Chains A and B, each alone.
Chain A
Amino acid sequence: KAGVTQTPRYLIKTRGQQVTLSCSPISGHRSVSWYQQTPGQGLQFLFEYFSETQRNKGNFPGRFSGRQFSNSRSEMNVSTLELGDSALYLCASSLGPPSGANVLTFGAGSRLTVL
């Protein structure tokens, strides 16, 4: 079956713009999580959605937001982009609410460059 699909794979924006990233989870998976990967900070948790509800949120400013649709697809939005937002944004899905034994499956990521 198809894996986690993220679009776009690469994009370039300028400071002050906003961006929307999309994630289609594995069919049947109802939980979607988002992570930011940067060289200096590694992978950092952004937020997690299950059945259209945000269940958990990381320590990111309010410029970072997300949502999940009834078909479990998810989007994240970053407004008023800053240079430091340049990163690989990773989406991961799981069948049910994520737990230690319920492993996340990651997509290939969306590489955002802010100029």
Chain B
Amino acid sequence: DQQVKQNSPSLSVQEGRISILNCDYTNSMFDYFLWYKKYPAEGPTFLISISSIKDKNEDGRFTVFLNKSAKHLSLHIVPSQPGDSAVYFCAHARGGSNYKLTFGKGTLLTVNP
């Protein structure tokens, strides 16, 4: 079964600098990885995804990189803004009739003004 690990529970960066959030996985078979962002008292909101056929996906200030040989992906936020302060979840999406999202435990990002 797939495991998704976010080994850093928290990360603090200065406004304007780059934020790099990391995620490791165990099972090489996957369809998509997704990143969700969660503010307190709100549900997670979708941020960006990457499919197994890509190494990189970019959307504005957010870029996700996939290193299949290392079973590692990362989310880069450039430049970081105070409004980016939230918990970021990495999730693996297994497709088909048994679809489910397997989430990591999240990383709390704090962007300091």
Q: Which residues of A contact B (CB under 8 A)?
A: 4, 33, 35, 41-45, 48, 55-56, 58, 90, 92, 97-101, 103-109
Contacts of B89 in A (CB 8 A): 42-43
**Known A100-B93, A103-B34; contact A48-B44, beta-carbon cutoff 8 A:** no
Contacts of B102 in A (CB 8 A): 45
Across the A-B interface, the 6 shortest Cβ-Cβ residue pairs: A100-B32, A106-B43, A42-B105, A43-B103, A100-B31, A100-B93
Nearest-CB distance from B23 to chain A (Å)? 12
Nearest-CB distance from B110 to chain A (Å)? 17
Contacts of B44 in A (CB 8 A): 43, 90, 106
B80 within 8 A of A: no
Q: Is the CB of A42 within 8 A of B100?
A: no
CA distance A99 to B32 in the complex (A): 9
Option from A4, A41, A99 in Cβ contact (under 8 Å) with B99: A99
- Write the chain B residue with the least CB distance to A94: B99
Q: B45-53, B58-66, B68-76: which one contacts chain A?
A: B45-53
Q: Which of B32, B44, B97, B104 has the most CB of A within 10 A?
A: B44
Option from B31, B98, B101, B106 in Cβ contact (under 8 Å) with A104: B101
CA distance A9 to B51 in the complex (A): 34
Q: Is the CB of A56 within 8 A of B93?
A: no
CA distance A4 to B43 in the complex (A): 9
CA distance A107 to B43 in the complex (A): 5
Q: Is the CB of A99 within 8 A of B31?
A: yes
Nearest-CB distance from B10 to chain A (Å)? 13
**Known A43-B44, A108-B43; contact A100-B98, beta-carbon cutoff 8 A:** no
A-B contact pairs, 16 of them (CB 8 A): A35-B101, A42-B89, A42-B106, A43-B44, A43-B106, A48-B99, A56-B97, A90-B44, A98-B93, A99-B31, A99-B95, A101-B51, A106-B36, A106-B45, A107-B43, A108-B43
